[in-house]
């Protein structure tokens, strides 16, 4: 019988830990604050930003919100970031992605001071992760490590397979599993025989962006499966990159969608903010 990895409960535990740390910092006269920048009217981005603000409220982190017009120029956005970089009362800066097409996302990410880069997307943060130095780590993969550890999954020495090599999930995920002494393989759209590789995994992390792509033919009996994908199915219900009903029975542990990886991303963002303030 498989076990569900409960992201809802684990993320709540993390938010409660953050709340305690914020209280302690406040008692020492230190505030924790996050600047959240939203450009344009993308409804999904507005929901994500709203959820981040709610999490800030819950944990006692002050959020300062900047809602900018869709047609703001790149220069104006960069100058706001520059101003926030210099403000001592701001610990973290988050620019909600994606940005409108006329703005160069890479330039915006690079403009955020690495010590305020709570999303962990700055090249310096990514470089630090790859050479084992301190720095912010992208929230979704950092959350997956927490999910594994807090569900008593040993990573050391395990065959870990990551499907997907995006800059925000797949690549940092692989680096973090390596840092935990896993034996790591990264797969992508050019991988020749995906099933053959994924079937080797003791820990399989799937971030492909294709609904219910991974069926039981891709999974070794007893594996731990982490599903990063989020999609709406034909009935408008949330589902992941893994076909849960097909795969779950042969796993030892698996994350559900919703209630698995999803809630961890914001919890880790809160954790990053408090680490920054410390």
Q: Binding string, 212-231, against ligand NDP, x = CB under 6 A?
A: ----------------xxx-
Separation of alpha carbons 23 and 75, rounded Å: 37
247's CB contacts (< 8 A; 6+ apart) are 214, 215, 216, 218, 219, 225, 254
Taking the least distance from each CB to ligand NDP, the nearer of 25 and 168 is 168
Separation of alpha carbons 244 and 94, rounded Å: 32
Among 60, 141, 170, 276, binds ligand NDP (CB under 6 A): 170
- Contacts (CB under 6 A) with ligand NDP, residues 6-45: none
Q: Which stretch binds ligand NDP (CB under 6 A): 20-28, 80-88, 91-99, 205-213?
A: 205-213
Q: Does 5 bind ligand NDP (CB under 6 A)?
A: no
Separation of alpha carbons 35 and 277, rounded Å: 13
Helix (H) or strand (E) holding 68: strand 62-68
Q: Does 199 bind ligand NDP (CB under 6 A)?
A: no
Q: Are 35 and 84 in contact (CB under 8 A)?
A: yes
Q: Binding string, 243-262, against ligand NDP, x = CB under 6 A?
A: ------------------xx
Name the minimum Å distance from CB 23 to ligand NDP. 27
Q: Does 192 bind ligand NDP (CB under 6 A)?
A: no
Q: Are 199 and 219 in contact (CB under 8 A)?
A: yes
Of 63, 59, 61, nearest to 16 (Cα)?
Answer: 59
Q: Which residues are catalytic?
A: 52, 96, 119
Q: Which stretch binds ligand NDP (CB under 6 A): 65-73, 110-118, 152-160, 184-192?
A: 184-192
Question: What sign results for the dihedral spanned by CA atoms 262, 265, 266, 268?
Answer: positive
Q: Which stretch binds ligand NDP (CB under 6 A): 35-43, 86-94, 129-137, 168-176?
A: 168-176
* Residue closest to ligand NDP, measured at CB: 166
Triad 253, 226, 211: Cα angle to 5°:
120
Taking the least distance from each CB to ligand NDP, the nearer of 7 and 135 is 7
Among 140, 198, 251, 255, binds ligand NDP (CB under 6 A): 140
Q: Does 95 bind ligand NDP (CB under 6 A)?
A: no
Question: What sign results for the dihedral spanned by CA atoms 32, 35, 41, 45?
Answer: negative
Tell me the helices (H) and strands (E) count for the chain, helix number first.
10, 11
Q: Which stretch binds ligand NDP (CB under 6 A): 50-58, 71-79, 190-198, 242-250?
A: 190-198
Helix (H) or strand (E) holding 94: strand 92-95
User: Which spans of this chain sit near ligand NDP (rule: CB under 6 A)?
Assistant: 140, 163-166, 168-170, 187-191, 194, 207-210, 228-230, 241, 261-262, 265
């Amino acid at each position: 019988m498989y076990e569900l990895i409960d992201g809802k409960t684990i993320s709540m535990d993390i938010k409660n830990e953050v709340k305690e740390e914020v209280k302690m910092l406040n008692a020492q006269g230190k505030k924790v604050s996050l600047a959240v920048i939203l450009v344009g009217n993308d409804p999904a981005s507005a929901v994500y930003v709203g959820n981040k603000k709610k999490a800030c409220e819950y944990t006692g982190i002050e959020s300062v919100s900047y809602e900018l017009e869709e047609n703001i120029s790149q220069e104006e956005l960069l100058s706001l970031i520059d101003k926030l970089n210099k403000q001592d009362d701001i610990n973290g800066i988050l620019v909600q992605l994606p940005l409108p097409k006329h703005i160069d996302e890479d330039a915006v990410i690079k403009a955020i001071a690495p010590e305020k880069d709570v999303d962990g997307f700055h090249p310096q943060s990514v470089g630090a992760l790859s050479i084992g130095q301190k720095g912010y780590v992208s929230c979704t993969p950092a959350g997956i490590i927490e999910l594994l550890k807090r569900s008593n999954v040993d990573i050391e020495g395990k065959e870990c397979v990551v499907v997907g090599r995006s800059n925000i999930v797949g690549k940092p995920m692989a680096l973090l599993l390596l840092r935990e002494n896993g034996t790591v393989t990264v797969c992508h759209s050019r991988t020749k025989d995906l099933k053959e590789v994924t079937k080797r995994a003791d820990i399989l992390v799937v971030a492909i962006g294709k609904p219910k792509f991974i069926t039981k033919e891709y999974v070794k009996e007893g594996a731990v499966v982490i599903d990063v994908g989020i999609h709406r199915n034909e009935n408008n219900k949330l589902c992941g990159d893994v076909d849960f009903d097909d795969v779950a029975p042969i796993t030892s542990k698996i994350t559900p969608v919703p209630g698995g990886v999803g809630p961890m991303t914001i919890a880790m963002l809160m954790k990053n903010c408090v680490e920054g303030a410390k």
